[in-house]
Amino acid sequence: MKKIEDEKKEALMVQWIKAVQGYLCALLEAWELSSYYGYWIGGEIGSLYDYGGSFTITMDNIIYCVEHDVTHDQYMEWQEYCCDAAEFNFTTPNLRSWMAGCPRTPEATFEKLRKLKAELNNEIDEEKERVKNENNS
């Protein structure tokens, strides 16, 4: 493999940083957010951006949101759905699929599953306590 010249690498990095910062600024402006609260995780520009601990977003999703006019509310709804889906080991859709209207589990179903999960956990805790007390008798 032919070695890429250091000057070319540096020029590409400058172009990359300008593009990344351009997309990020466009997104934050569209979402009416200040860049003061955000940072690139690990200092790796163009990887994963953390906005003050309230949400994270990948560079791929930053570009998608800018190019497809995804609102902050739509993005946050998708992130919340992904958290709900992950809680029950459901498939989590990517942002493109979400915006295209992929099949989704309704919030009422998640609420029902949380209630059932809590009841099951209570039953498990009660059984553990019963066995513990029986062993101590």
**Residue pLDDT, tens place only, 81-117:** 999 999 999 999 999 999 999 999 999 999 999 999 9
- For 11-52, the pLDDT digits (tens) are 999 999 999 999 999 999 999 999 888 999 999 999 999 999
Question: Whole-structure pTM over 0.85, yes or no?
Answer: no
Cβ atoms 67, 43 nearer than 8 A: no
Q: What is the rounded CA–CA span in Å between residue 110 and residue 104?
A: 11
Q: Which pLDDT score, from 0 to 100, does residue 35 have?
A: 84
φ/ψ of residue 58, rounded to 5: -80, 160
How far the first Cα of the chain sits from its last, in Å, is: 75
Residue 43 identity:
G
Q: What angle do CA 29, 45, 66 make, to 5 degrees?
A: 35
Cβ atoms 73, 52 nearer than 8 A: no
Burial of 62 (0-12, 13-18, 19+ CB in 10 A): buried
Domain ranges within the chain, ordered by starting residue: 6-105, 108-137
Q: Which pLDDT score, from 0 to 100, does residue 66 have?
A: 98
pLDDT level of residue 75 (50, 70, 90 thresholds)? very high
pLDDT at 1 exceeding the cut of 90: no
Q: Which residue has the higher pLDDT, 137 or 88?
A: 88
Q: What is the rounded CA–CA span in Å between residue 96 and residue 31?
A: 18
What's the token pair of residue 13?
Answer: 């990095």
pLDDT at 137 exceeding the cut of 80: no
- Consecutive H or E run containing 81: helix 72-87
Q: Which pLDDT score, from 0 to 100, does residue 135 have?
A: 79
